[in-house]
């Protein structure tokens, strides 16, 4: 037994360790997720329309022509009337427990909730209705000895002792969070629905998506898999599931191809046969957090390091990848950055939110050669362009959501309105 080596490795992934060579134990301080159980049928029956409420834990965001949607982590979706971009008005709260990821296409919201995929009609914004619910799409229910269903986790930092080579100590070589059931037995992360996962400390604000949509099919990535749903007026159901490997983060649809961002690669899948996506190629990069944004002959990949909100890795950069041959993607340019998060393209400019380091705006008139054109100090993490106004965008920052207008000639950025949290 190489106790000293085990101690050294564990120290890299946890806050503190203390190996006891005599009794074969290791004391670890880590993020523990303790199972919460409840009545799943009652939760599914929650009335969809809730009263307006304060935004406490913002998550996913969406910007439409006349509406803003702001996810409340694990609770539902805030709806704002944005007809007056200078003064968005809260309309209602869509009460959808245990959801943290949604996607909007026209008048439909697709949302991950518990074990389910939910399709919601918002054509009448004051009276949203559930069109369909594919139950157990992501996992079969996990129950306790009382017959109650696992519906979430409570997160907290704890210090506990484990066997030196036990499954908990070994799991912490690769994970920063461990999940436990009602018996305090560890639950493998691979069996946990993606809507339950989290780190208990950070929010997943995002224009970076886990959902993509064609006319008749829906594609959803979990932490390790790609699920394909058939989607038509009478059916929403899983027809294919493929394991991709751990660390899957984002998905983006472009030209019958899915660009999937993971912590170690950009994966390109072909969906010319929509029910059966198949692998075209993979572009490997240093381990990090990374959204992927394809644009014509190139794809933009941002890599963020371990120094930024728990991401693993050591690289902070914007990489331009040549995808003119999708079977053999290659990097063209690697631009060092401070802390890249979300990004978007608007009016031949690439906007990259760098958190506390502001926002960087690149001229991409020549897609393969981004040129830094403007920088602004506003603390921005994720960014979404207005669907029809080519000089307006929505940004997520530490205090809330802000709407800006850009004057590309004067190189100025003007705050139009803000929704504070």
Q: In this structure, what DSSP letter does residue 196 have?
A: G
Give me the phi and psi of 8, to 5 degrees please.
Answer: -65, -40
Matching CATH number, 247-421, of 3.20.130.10, 2.30.130.10, 2.130.10.10, 1.20.1070.10? 2.130.10.10
Query: Are the C-beta atoms of residues 272 and 280 closer than 8 Å to each other?
Result: no
Overall average pLDDT of the 129-158 stretch: 91
- Look up residue 366 and give its two tokens: 């020549």
Percentage, residues of the chain above pLDDT 90: 54
Dist CA 224 CA 217 (whole Å): 20
Q: Write out pLDDT tens, residues 220-277.
A: 998 889 999 999 887 899 999 999 988 888 899 998 999 999 888 999 999 999 999 9
Cα–Cα distance, 360 to 217 (Å, whole number): 35
Phi, psi for 96 (deg, rounded to 5): -130, 90
Q: Would you say residue 202 has pLDDT above 90?
A: no
At residue 312, the pLDDT reads 59
* Segment 323-346, tens digit of pLDDT: 999 999 999 999 999 989 889 999
pTM (2 decimals)? 0.84
Q: Where are the domains of the chain?
A: 3-38+148-196, 41-95+102-139, 247-421
């Amino acid at each position: 037994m190489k106790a000293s080596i085990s101690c050294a490795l564990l120290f890299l992934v946890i806050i503190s360790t203390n190996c006891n060579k005599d009794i074969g134990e290791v004391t670890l301080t880590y993020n523990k997720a303790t199972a919460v159980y409840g009545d799943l049928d009652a939760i599914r029956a929650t009335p969809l329309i809730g009263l307006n409420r304060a935004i406490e834990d913002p998550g996913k965001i969406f910007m439409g022509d006349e509406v803003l949607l702001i996810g409340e982590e694990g609770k539902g979706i805030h709806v704002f009337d944005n007809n007056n971009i200078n003064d968005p008005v809260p309309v209602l709260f869509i009460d959808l427990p245990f959801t943290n990821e949604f996607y909007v296409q026209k008048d439909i919201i697709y949302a991950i909730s518990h074990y389910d995929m939910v399709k919601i009609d918002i054509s009448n914004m004051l009276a949203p209705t559930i069109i369909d619910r594919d139950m157990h799409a992501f996992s079969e229910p996990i129950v306790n000895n009382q017959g109650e269903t696992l519906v979430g986790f409570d997160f907290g930092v704890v210090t506990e002792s484990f066997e030196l080579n036990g499954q908990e100590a070994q799991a912490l070589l690769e994970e920063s969070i461990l999940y436990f059931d009602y018996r305090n037995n560890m639950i493998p992360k691979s069996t946990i629905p993606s809507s339950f996962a989290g780190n208990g400390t950070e929010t997943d604000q995002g224009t970076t998506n886990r959902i993509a949509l064609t006319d008749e099919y829906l594609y959803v990535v979990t932490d390790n898999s790609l699920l394909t749903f058939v989607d038509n007026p009478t059916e929403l159901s899983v027809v294919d599931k493929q394991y991709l490997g751990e660390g899957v983060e984002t998905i983006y649809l472009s030209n019958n191809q899915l660009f999937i961002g993971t912590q170690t690669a950009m994966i390109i899948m072909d969906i010319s046969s929509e029910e059966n996506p198949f692998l075209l190629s993979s572009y490997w990069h240093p381990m990090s957090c990374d959204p992927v944004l394809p644009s014509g002959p190139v794809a933009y990949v941002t890599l963020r390091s371990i120094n930024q909100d728990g991401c693993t890795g050591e690289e902070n950069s914007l990489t331009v990848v040549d995808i003119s041959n999708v079977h053999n993607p290659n990097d063209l340019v690697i631009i060092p950055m401070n802390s890249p998060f979300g990004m978007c393209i608007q009016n031949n400019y690439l906007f990259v939110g760098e958190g506390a380091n502001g926002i960087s705006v690149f001229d991409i008139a020549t897609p393969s050669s981004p040129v830094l054109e403007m920088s602004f100090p506003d603390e921005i993490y994720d960014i979404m362009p207005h669907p029809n106004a080519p000089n307006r965008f929505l940004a997520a920052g530490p205090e809330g959501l802000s709407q800006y207008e850009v004057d590309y000639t004067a190189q100025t950025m003007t705050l139009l309105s803000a929704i504070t949290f």
